[in-house]
Amino acid sequence: MLTGNLLWVLVGTMLLGIAAGITGTFSFLQKQSLVGDAAAHAALPGIALAFLVTGQKELPILMLGAGITSALSVYCIQWIVSFSKMKADAAIGLVLTVFFGIGVVFLTVVNRSPLGNQSGLNNFIFGKAATMTKADLMWLFISATIIILVSLLLYKEWKLLIFDPVYAKGIGLPIEALKATLTILIVMTIVTGIQAVGVILMSALLIIPAASAKLWTNKLSSMLVLSAAIGGISGITGTFISSIRTGLSTGPIIVLVAAAIFFISYFISPAGQINKYRRKMQFRKQGELG
């Protein structure tokens, strides 16, 4: 049975899934998905440090800490790639592990502190939507709505940036500002969703819907709609399942739902394995007839 609070949580995670699907699509097409993975893991030290400094589990303060360390991780990746011979994937792996390791250390310190039992910060690792208060949900609604609206407003500019950056620069578009805005929105999406989905799996909600949508279409507008729909369905379905099965973390269930949609798409979509097999058999028959 849907209680009032559960209904709001479902709507909130649906909006989160939509926002992640949209920003994740732009990130996916720019081949920056793993940067989002690093930023998601890097949110943990910010959350723990914010609690250690203030001693309070106030969501705006914790999210500010998460946002700062997530943004710092992205800057570190860009700096390492620019000023060293290290490739992007290696830089991402280095930053991800260092930041997450620091986060685990800080979290251990929090759990051993007098307020550790009341902190509830462990829920930020895998997510627990059921623990969200009305104030938390209001934060989620506002943040997700802003992310969605800004993404739609900048749709044309980001489309040019992704598919024809030379032309975009030629007509005077602020390339670096557009890239920075996309990075900010990705960090916002991560920060908004970590309480519901968790720092470890938030990146999956950015990647899987976009990857699934790409199997169905190559048109950006259609891909955005499909990715947003997959993200929203995953969010609302995963949250509902975790609510009726006490003790299940929300994040893993949401990701499993998204993964199930991806595997279905992998086989039955126009670019899926079944259609590839059919085309292969048709070519073989044509070759035999020829």
What's the pLDDT score for residue 274? Answer: 85
What are the tokens at 78? Answer: 């860009």
What's the pLDDT score for residue 190? Answer: 92
Is residue 99's pLDDT more than 80? Answer: yes
Pick the CATH number of 4-289 from 3.40.50.620, 3.30.70.20, 1.10.3470.10, 1.10.10.10: 1.10.3470.10
What's the pLDDT score for residue 242? Answer: 84
Is residue 158's pLDDT more than 90? Answer: yes
Residues 115-124 pLDDT 10s = 666 557 777 8
**Alpha carbon distance 249, 246 (integer Å):** 9
What's the pLDDT score for residue 288? Answer: 62
Residue ranges of domains in the chain = 4-289
**Alpha carbon distance 193, 186 (integer Å):** 11
Query: What angle do helix axes 250-268 and 202-216 make, rounded to 10 degrees?
Result: 20
pTM score, whole prediction: 0.89
Is residue 64's pLDDT more than 80? Answer: yes
Burial 113-152 (b: 16+ CB within 10 A, else e): eeebeebebebbbbbbbbebeeebbebbbebbeebbebbe
Is residue 154's pLDDT more than 90? Answer: yes
Is residue 290's pLDDT more than 60? Answer: no
For residue 55, the 8-state DSSP code is -
Residues 207-262 pLDDT 10s = 999 999 999 999 999 999 999 999 999 999 998 888 887 667 788 899 999 999 99
pLDDT grade, residue 200 (50/70/90)? confident
How many CB atoms sit inside 10 A of residue 290's CB?
Answer: 5
pLDDT grade, residue 1 (50/70/90)? low
Torsion of CA 102, 53, 16, 41, to 10 degrees: 0
